Amino acid sequence: MVTEQWQFLLEKRMEIIAGVDEVGRGPLAGPVMAAAVVLPEDHTIEGLRDSKKLSKLKREKLFPIIQEQALGIGIGKVGVKTIDKINIREATLKAMQIALGNLPIRPDKALIDGHPLKNQIIPNEGIMGGDDLIDAIKAASIIAKVTRDKIMSDYGRIFPEYRFEKNNGYGTVFHMNALNEFRATPIHRRSFNPVNKNMPTLTWLSEQKRIGWMGEKLAALYLKGKGLEILEMNRNCPPHGEIDIIAKNGNEIVFIEVKTAFKTNPDSLDEKVDEQKLTKISHAIHQYQKETEQIDDFRIDCVSVILQKKKPIIKHFEGILLD
């Protein structure tokens, strides 16, 4: 959609220049992100700097201001599978290209923090230290950083053992210790050291009694991919037991029971959610509602996960009925 400001620039035939920056090259986990931002020459945004030189609070305050005043914003995201396939450098360039492509209209020129983009239709120029020199690049740095931090915070709810909401996937001491104890997750970059030395095997998961644990993580990622917002994992509701996953789908709260096994029929796993189990789940839900004062509509789902050497088999059964 072309905004009135874009239309004004087009009618006046003024040069449209986008600033582009990336974030997330160094972490052991999570995607690499890029943003492309076009700012008006007369913008009134104060305090723009390289996102790395701003506090989290300052970045988050600037984020909506940039959104409000920018003539256009494009976001580029490249996930861990692609990072591992083409390497982080190429993935970073790809994220920048995607960001430029996601602008509402094609700019005349792009200013890239660092080196220029090769094989790019849009004319571009690399500016070393551009995130300290060019306002549009500074803004792009902030947009990319805040966007990625939000993604990692969401992953933090699925993998609280790693504190991704704190370290954003970077190799902190806590993260390295968690990697050693719990091994790598599906959002870790397998091509990075020491991730590739800490991959969980089925034998290891079985020996560590973490089959169910891994199944719950895979189920949560699957649900997130379907658009559900993961609110909480492994909510303890004494004396009624634990709710594996609590998620939100629109205005509806979804309580998910996860069943995990090796090489079996996924359709048979939901049969393990018998009347006795449903009664326990129902009591746990009522306890959760009492503690949180949740009054939203809710449903109960079941997710079955079959672990195998290749890709796991995951099936989602929606709307289990309570008698």
Domain 205-317 has what CATH class? Answer: alpha beta
Sheet of 242-249: strand order equals: 229-236, 242-249, 252-262, 298-307, 313-317
What is the residue extent of each domain of the chain? 4-153, 205-317
- Give residue 263's region: left, alpha or beta (phi > 0; psi -120 to 50): left
pLDDT given for residue 5 in this prediction: 62
pLDDT above 90: percentage of residues in the chain: 75
Predicted confidence band of residue 1 (pLDDT cuts 50, 70, 90): very low
Indicate the CATH number of 4-153 among 2.20.25.90, 3.30.420.10, 3.40.190.10, 1.25.40.340.
3.30.420.10
Please state the rounded mean pLDDT for residues 88-108: 95
Q: Is the confidence at residue 125, as pLDDT, over 60?
A: yes
pLDDT given for residue 323 in this prediction: 54
User: Per residue in 150-203, pLDDT tens?
Assistant: 999 999 999 999 999 999 999 999 999 999 999 999 999 999 999 999 999 999
Number of CB atoms found within 10 A of residue 19's CB: 28
Q: Is the confidence at residue 131, as pLDDT, over 80?
A: yes
pLDDT given for residue 322 in this prediction: 57
User: Per residue in 215-248, pLDDT tens?
Assistant: 999 999 999 999 999 999 999 988 888 999 999 9
Task: State phi, psi for 209 to the nearest 5 degrees.
Answer: 55, 45
pLDDT given for residue 107 in this prediction: 93
| Same fold? 4-153, 205-317 | no
Please state the rounded mean pLDDT for residues 13-27: 91
Mean pLDDT of the chain: 90
pLDDT given for residue 289 in this prediction: 83
Please state the rounded mean pLDDT for residues 125-137: 95
Please state the rounded mean pLDDT for residues 299-303: 92
pLDDT given for residue 39 in this prediction: 95
Find all residues with CB under 8 Å of 91, minimum gap 6, and list them.
Answer: 32, 78, 82, 83
User: Per residue in 252-290, pLDDT tens?
Assistant: 999 999 999 876 555 555 556 667 777 788 888 888 888
pLDDT given for residue 290 in this prediction: 82
**pTM as predicted:** 0.89
Predicted confidence band of residue 15 (pLDDT cuts 50, 70, 90): confident
pLDDT given for residue 286 in this prediction: 83
Contacts 24+ apart (CB under 8 A), 49-58: 49/131, 49/132, 49/138, 50/131, 50/132, 50/138, 50/141, 51/21, 51/23, 51/131, 51/138, 51/141, 51/142, 51/144, 51/145, 51/146, 52/131, 52/141, 52/145, 54/142, 56/149
pLDDT given for residue 320 in this prediction: 76
Predicted confidence band of residue 319 (pLDDT cuts 50, 70, 90): confident
